[in-house]
């Protein structure tokens, strides 16, 4: 057994020595045709000078040119004028000068270089191409033509078996519909997909896109942009950690740290996931969704589970809809409801689902509320069905106004008049020299109240009123509040950050 193992090791060692110790047989470059042949010596080497209709073969590679020098000892050929290298149906390489190193199958082609690989054509002045590895490299500008796309760069690498170009430095893709500028880019000539590996710009008549990583399918016009990505269209800018864009459908998706900015309407939508369509224009955003209407010093902030934006029937004005746990903050009013609609055409905000609105000291509730604004400030409010306004007089007392419907009018951001329409009731605490003198409880079908410095200064009862003014000590606590009284101050957002707190 020991003898057998020793013999086996000896055989294996001998085989390794044969493989590594002796050079492999060289395949020489062969002359297939030449109009004339001269023998010369240069630098101690014998060479053959071939002139006219030169045709050479090295394994499966065929070389054609007008004239050539063949260094047989080096297995090297230098070809001049009308150089053409062919390998099957896959490689067609042209140029004015060639240095071909047969031992490593490396073609160095210079001046007016053209590489044709089926539907792809490369033009450059300097190309090194390794035929064994099917790998080419140009280093002093090159142009690639593939379908409708023209690609340019200072440096380029071509992997023929993968149909892949790798571009570096001043990369440019020209398409009839757009132009791409990039620092580093990969391009697959079969799929026609561009992969961005550095700062990249995509510019068209209708949009501008920037990213630092991503891809673009030039066949389908579908793309994915990552890392500091943003898209600018005619009236809108979209930002996000990642953007997906289908150019033909005019449809996009954005992920993480999303911002949609409308420069005409001066609004911003934020969140962590968004979908948007260009025609007709509409947007959906969710996951920490936030709407901001930009005004000088008093922007409106609205948070909800989901925000949607679309154009009205005239296709000129936006309508914003907010759904589920809506909260809003503006210096002159704040609100809370289940859903909301905001028409930019008439500057009307509609609140649905247990809406609450706060303005200065006043809390306003009803089944449905309309906020009418003018020049980005409160103009008047409409409270429909079970309207109720409450303001705090002191730590235990509250002025209250109830009715079927109400309209509240504002001046310089302060509530100055309230019209109660139907089933009007009030509980308020009149004062004399800032001292409360009693509890006034009044009922009247229609009531108009006038306010100044946040206090009721006058009440008009438009139908026959019924009511009493009672001393504080003679009025039990149960009669100082209507039975459906709810003080919701804890739910009031106190800042733009407060819209994310749901209580």
Q: Are 297 and 316 in contact (CB under 8 A)?
A: no
Confidence of residue 301 (pLDDT cuts 50, 70, 90): very high
Instruction: Give the containing element (helix H, strand E) for 422.
Output: strand 414-428
Alpha helices in 177-284 (DSSP H): none
Q: Where are the domains of the chain?
A: 314-321+330-478
Mean of per-residue pLDDT scores for the chain: 87
Contacts of 435 (CB under 8 A, 6+ apart): none
Residue 388 pLDDT more than 90?
A: yes
pLDDT in tens, 92-101: 999 999 999 9
Ranges 57-61, 307-311, 369-373, 427-431: which has the least confidence: 427-431
Q: CB count, 10 Å around CB of 63?
A: 23
| Residue 69 to residue 354: CA distance in whole angstroms | 93
What is the average pLDDT across 196-218? 90
Write the DSSP string, 7-61.
HHHHHHHHHHHHHHHSPPPP---EEEE-SEEEEEEETTEEEEEEEEEEEEEETTE
Q: What is the pLDDT of residue 1?
A: 43
pTM of this prediction?
Answer: 0.76
Ranges 75-79, 233-237, 371-375, 438-442: which has the least confidence: 233-237
What is the average pLDDT across 411-429? 89
What is the average pLDDT across 423-438? 85
**314-321+330-478: which CATH topology?**
lipopolysaccharide transport protein A fold (2.60.450)
Confidence of residue 43 (pLDDT cuts 50, 70, 90): low
| Residue 232 to residue 189: CA distance in whole angstroms | 28
pLDDT in tens, 436-495: 888 888 888 898 988 888 777 888 887 767 777 788 877 887 788 998 899 999 999 999
Q: What is the pLDDT of residue 25?
A: 63
What is the average pLDDT across 264-287? 90
| Residue 271 to residue 149: CA distance in whole angstroms | 36
Strand positions, DSSP E, 278-355: 282-293, 300-311, 318-330, 333-343, 348-352
Residue 40 pLDDT more than 70?
A: yes
Tell me if the bond preceding 436 is cis, omega within 30° of 0. no
| Residue 134 to residue 422: CA distance in whole angstroms | 88
Name the percent of the chain lying above pLDDT 90: 51
| Residue 135 to residue 103: CA distance in whole angstroms | 16
pLDDT in tens, 128-176: 999 888 889 998 899 999 888 899 999 999 988 888 889 989 999 998 8
Enter the DSSP assignment of 3. H
């Amino acid at each position: 057994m020991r003898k057998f193992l020793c013999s086996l090791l000896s055989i294996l060692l001998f085989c390794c020595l044969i493989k590594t110790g002796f050079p492999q047989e060289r395949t020489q470059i062969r002359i297939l045709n030449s109009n004339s042949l001269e023998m010369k010596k240069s630098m101690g080497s014998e060479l053959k000078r071939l002139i006219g209709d030169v045709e050479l073969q090295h394994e499966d590679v065929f070389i054609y040119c007008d004239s050539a020098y063949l260094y047989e000892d080096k297995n090297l050929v230098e070809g001049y004028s009308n150089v053409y290298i062919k390998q099957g149906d896959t490689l067609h390489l042209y140029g004015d000068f060639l240095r071909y190193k047969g031992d490593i199958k490396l073609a160095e082609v210079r001046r007016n270089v053209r590489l044709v690989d089926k539907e792809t054509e490369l033009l450059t002045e300097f190309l090194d191409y390794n035929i064994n590895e099917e790998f080419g490299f140009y280093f002093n500008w090159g142009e690639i033509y593939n379908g409708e796309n023209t690609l340019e760069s200072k440096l380029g690498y071509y992997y023929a078996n993968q149909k892949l170009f790798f571009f570096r430095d001043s990369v440019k893709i020209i398409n009839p519909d757009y132009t791409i500028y990039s620092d580093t880019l990969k391009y697959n000539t079969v799929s026609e997909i561009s992969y961005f590996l550095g700062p990249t710009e995509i510019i068209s008549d209708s949009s501008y896109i920037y990213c630092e990583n991503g891809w673009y399918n030039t066949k389908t016009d579908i793309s994915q942009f990552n890392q500091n990505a943003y898209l600018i269209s005619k009236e809108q800018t979209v930002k996000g950690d990642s953007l997906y864009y289908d150019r033909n459908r005019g449809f996009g998706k954005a992920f993480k740290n999303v911002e949609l900015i409308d420069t005409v309407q001066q609004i911003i939508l934020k969140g962590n996931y968004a979908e948007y369509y260009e025609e007709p224009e509409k947007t959906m955003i969710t996951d920490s969704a936030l709407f901001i209407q930009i005004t000088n010093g008093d922007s409106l902030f609205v948070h909800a589970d989901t925000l949607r934006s679309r154009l009205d029937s005239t296709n000129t004005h936006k309508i914003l809809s907010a759904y589920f746990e809506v909260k809003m903050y503006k210096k002159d009013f704040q609100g809370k409801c289940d859903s909301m609609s905001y028409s930019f055409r008439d500057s009307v905000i509609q609140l649905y689902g247990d809406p609450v609105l706060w303005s200065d000291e006043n809390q306003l509730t009803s089944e449905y509320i309309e906020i009418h604004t003018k020049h980005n400030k409160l103009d008047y409010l409409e409270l429909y069905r079970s309207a109720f306004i409450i303001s705090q007089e002191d730590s235990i007392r509250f002025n209250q106004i109830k009715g079927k419907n109400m309209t509240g009018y504002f001046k310089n951001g302060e509530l100055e008049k309230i019209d109660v329409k139907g089933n009007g009731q009030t509980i308020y605490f009149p004062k004399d020299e800032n001292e409360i003198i009693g509890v006034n409880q009044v009922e009247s079908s229609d009531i108009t109240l006038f306010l100044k410095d946040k206090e009721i200064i006058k009440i008009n009862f438009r139908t026959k009123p019924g009511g009493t003014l009672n001393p504080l000590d003679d009025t039990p606590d149960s009669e100082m509040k209507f039975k459906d009284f709810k003080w919701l101050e804890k739910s009031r957002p106190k800042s733009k950050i407060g819209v994310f707190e749901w209580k």
